[in-house]
A and B are shown apart, each in its own frame.
Chain A
């Protein structure tokens, strides 16, 4: 079965700094989703990547899918307190959605 591993599991950065979260799959990804969850709230869809080498950006968040379609990274530039939360990568498994374990991001002022 497909597994997604995220790193790091938690991250504390100073406001204004850049950061990267990685998501590695045990199998080829045919659709990779990035979500954000604020504590106690539902998942918010950020971006979806499908093609090898694809890169998408939304405001200060950029996500990339590598050429081999087994790894994705989420990069935040000039982090702000509003970026704090849990970031999850997800993919379509054989019969259900598969998620990474999440990366908890804390932004220190």
Chain B
């Protein structure tokens, strides 16, 4: 099946720094990628929808200036957490929709961010 990778899988950063997380579709072209956030023992919450070549659409309550999303190609989307704070510590997961199959969603393995 289709594979989505994320890098890094784990990152620890200091408060005030920025962190970039990459999401790649390895064997298919993804017209749309989604970014989710999961707090411990809580559900997956959609943060934003990223379409290749256009601005991301953010869900209500998600700060677009803090969580910068770039979808520069059909196989890569990046999420940059700017000026990270301890409350941004979370598990970030991306998913991608295959161009060939608009409703199949493939999930990345996630990135655990810890801000100290």
With A and B bound together, what is the CA distance between A11 and B30 in angstroms? 27
Stretch at the interface among B15-23, B65-73, B79-87, B104-112: B104-112
Is the Cβ of B41 less than 8 Å from the Cβ of A97? no
Is the Cβ of B109 less than 8 Å from the Cβ of A40? no
Q: How many A-B contacts if CB must be within 8 Å?
A: 45
| B38-71 vs A, Cβ < 8 Å mask (1 yes, 0 no) | 1001111110010000000000000000000000
* A96-B41 CB under 8 A given contacts A39-B103, A42-B36, A43-B36: no
Is the Cβ of B107 less than 8 Å from the Cβ of A99? yes
Is the Cβ of B110 less than 8 Å from the Cβ of A96? yes
Is the Cβ of B102 less than 8 Å from the Cβ of A35? no
Report which of A35, A40, A92, A97 forms a contact with B97, defined as CB distance below 8 A.
A40
Which chain A residues border B38 with CB–CB below 8 Å?
97
With A and B bound together, what is the CA distance between A105 and B11 in angstroms? 38
Which chain A residues border B95 with CB–CB below 8 Å?
42-43
Total chain B interface residues with beta-carbon distance under 8 A = 20
Interface majority SS on B: helix, strand, loop or mixed?
Answer: strand
Is the Cβ of A86 less than 8 Å from the Cβ of B103? yes
* A97-B103 CB under 8 A given contacts A40-B32, A43-B34: no
Is the Cβ of B102 less than 8 Å from the Cβ of A48? no
Report which of B32, B44, B45 forms a contact with A97, defined as CB distance below 8 A.
B44
Expressed in whole angstroms, the minimum distance between the Cβ of A47 and any Cβ of chain B is 8
The answer to whether the Cβ of A41 comes within 8 Å of any Cβ in the partner chain is yes
5 CB-based A-B contacts, threshold 8 Å: A39-B103, A40-B102, A42-B49, A48-B42, A104-B103
Other CB < 8 Å A-B pairs besides A31-B41, A35-B43, 14 of them?
Answer: A33-B44, A37-B105, A39-B102, A40-B103, A42-B34, A42-B36, A43-B36, A45-B43, A45-B44, A45-B46, A48-B42, A90-B43, A92-B41, A96-B110
